[in-house]
Every structure is written in C-alpha cells, then in structure tokens.
Amino acid sequence: MAIQFDLSLAPVYGVEQRLSQRIARLLAPNPSAFTFRGTGVYIIGAGDHVAVIDPGPDLPEHVAALKRALDGRTVSHILITHTHKDHSPAAQPLKEWGGAPTYGFGPHVETNDVEEGGDRLFAPDIRVTDGQKIAGADFSITCVFTPGHTSNHMCYALDEEKALFCGDHVMGWSTSVIAPPDGNMGDYLRSLEKLLGRDDTILYPTHGSPITPPPPFLRALITHRRMREGQIAACLGRGDDTVPAIVARLYAGLAPMLVKAAELTVLAHLQHMTGDGRVAQDGARYRMMS
C-alpha cells in the first residue's frame, strides 16, 4: 500500500488562514528538509478566546506575525505536541505577551539533535495526560498520548469537529523520523494503531496539509514500517549487518544531510526487532534469530 503524500501546500508565511469554523493556521518561515514548508501554528476557536497549538520557533519575525494575528483576542491555552525546536520555543514569548499557561506531556527528555533539535528550556505549566479534557470558550479538546516520534508526544483532538492535531506523529508530506534514544519504533507503531481505533475525520499535522480520511493513510504508514523491517531482515540475511551498511543498501543516493536521520530510523527499527526477539545484537552488528 503506497503512501499518498501531499506536496501541494503553497507557503504563505505570517498570515492567518481560516481552515474551518474553529480552526485557523499561521505558517512560520522555517522551511527545511525536516519541516517541509514550515511549522503550521494552529489557532483554535471561533470567537475572542482561542487556544494555540505548537506556536513554533522563536524567530522574531514569526513571533511578531503571531502576535499581530492574535491581537484583540485572548489566548487561553498554549498547547505543545512535543519539544522539538520547531514546535515549542515560541511558547515563552507568546506566554509573556498574552499570559496564557502552557500545556504538554512534559519537558524534553533525551535528544540527538537530529531534525531541528530539542527544546531543553521548555517545561509545561500544566502537564496533561491521555484522555484529559481541556475546555475552551467555544471548544473542547481531548488529549491523545502518542509516544514514538518523541517520548513526550501528545496529540490534541478538537471534539466539535472530530479533528486531530497530530504534531509530527503523522505528517502528510513525509514519514516521521523515529530517532533513538528518545524516539521508539515500538511506541510509534502502537500509537499509529491507537489512532486507527479513533473516529477522527481529519488529521492536521504541524507540517503539511490536512489528511482526510485518516484510516487509509494510517494503514499505509503501518504497512510502510513493516515493509522496511522486512527489507532490514533481508539486508541482515545478505550480510549487511551494521546500521551504516543497511542505510547504504536501502537509501542509496540519499542526500548527505539526511543520512544521520536515516541511520537513526534504521536503528529504531533494529531496536524494535531486537526487543521482540526477531534480531540479536552483537556490539555494532546485528543478525536474524533462527
């Protein structure tokens, strides 16, 4: 099952764009190989009291644009899906400006500074848990814990629209990087299965366009990861038994700046396969169990 990625998002930076009755998005000017067109900051609420999901990077021009968009409204909640530097740093200047508390699963844990790196300065004012409800002026949000991309990754469901803000757990333009030690492939796959059990009608990733309907896309992501583990098993059978050797075989021609992310993703797969007994590790080398 091929993943139907959507690369059509046309970047319009620093301008609030209305997506639905209760959802608007403002795109930060931080495009990269890991952020696609940039960080999509979501503004939730149809009235004068709104929540902000993933305020984005602490770039002066972006923070200024966010303040302009929110001027005249009260920010009641600042919700963080996870603590990579393209998601959470602007929470602090936004909080200082508007006074809203920050919400998240917890502070950053471990990082290898792949992708945009970890925001070690962020700690939520209010720590949220799976299934917790957050009430706004004209909206209700349910917290959905989805570890895998990071250990503190939390999605947020807008109950009134059956819409899930999925951070980097699911992205419409690319697969997510799962980078140990904080990223965990087993957790990531279980979190994808968890979303399959929900009734969301649309997913809003922080990077890229909305995804609808969710189930076929989620199934394609799961199938892709299982296929990748089959390819890794074939590599081990051929004698490509180290992470660099597997990456060289499976990602031939990959841009140098993406090699580290590929190595960490392969490592995450190997850790998952080792954990369930399919693979054994001998130092830097791996082998299939008979």
pLDDT in tens, 233-268: 999 999 999 999 999 999 988 899 889 989 999 999
Residue 112: per-residue pLDDT: 64
pLDDT confidence bin for 20, thresholds 50/70/90: very high
Statement: residue 1 has pLDDT above 70: no
What are the pLDDT digits (tens) for 166-200? 999 999 999 999 999 999 999 999 999 999 999 99
What are the pLDDT digits (tens) for 81-128? 999 999 999 999 999 999 999 999 998 887 666 656 788 899 999 999
The verdict on whether 241 is a catalytic residue reads no
Statement: residue 283 has pLDDT above 70: yes
Residue 115: per-residue pLDDT: 59
What is the rounded CA–CA span in Å between residue 128 and residue 126? 6
Cβ atoms 74, 138 nearer than 8 A: no
| Fold held by 224-288 | Arc Repressor Mutant, subunit A (1.10.10)
Could you identify the residue written with the tokens 């660099």?
A: 244
Spans of all domains in the chain: 17-212, 224-288
Residue 239: per-residue pLDDT: 97
How many C-beta atoms surround the C-beta of residue 257 within 10 A?
10
Of 48, 54, 71, 86, catalytic: 86
What is the rounded CA–CA span in Å between residue 242 and residue 171? 28
43 has which bridge partners? Answer: 24, 52
Residue 290: per-residue pLDDT: 77
Question: What single string gives the DSSP state of each residue in 108-135?
Answer: -------TT-B-TT---SEE--TT-EEE
Average pLDDT, the chain: 95
| Fold held by 17-212 | Metallo-beta-lactamase; Chain A (3.60.15)
Asked if the peptide bond before residue 31 counts as cis, ω within 30 degrees of 0, the response is: no
Cβ atoms 104, 124 nearer than 8 A: yes
Sequence-ordered list of residues with C-beta below 8 angstroms from that of 40, at least 6 positions apart, any chain: 25, 26, 27, 28, 54, 204, 205, 206, 207, 208
What are the pLDDT digits (tens) for 124-164? 999 999 999 999 999 999 999 999 999 999 999 999 999 99
Cβ atoms 54, 79 nearer than 8 A: yes
What is the rounded CA–CA span in Å between residue 73 and residue 66? 12
127 has which bridge partners? Answer: 104
Residue 118: per-residue pLDDT: 87
Could you identify the residue written with the tokens 């968890």?
A: 194
Residue 2: per-residue pLDDT: 82
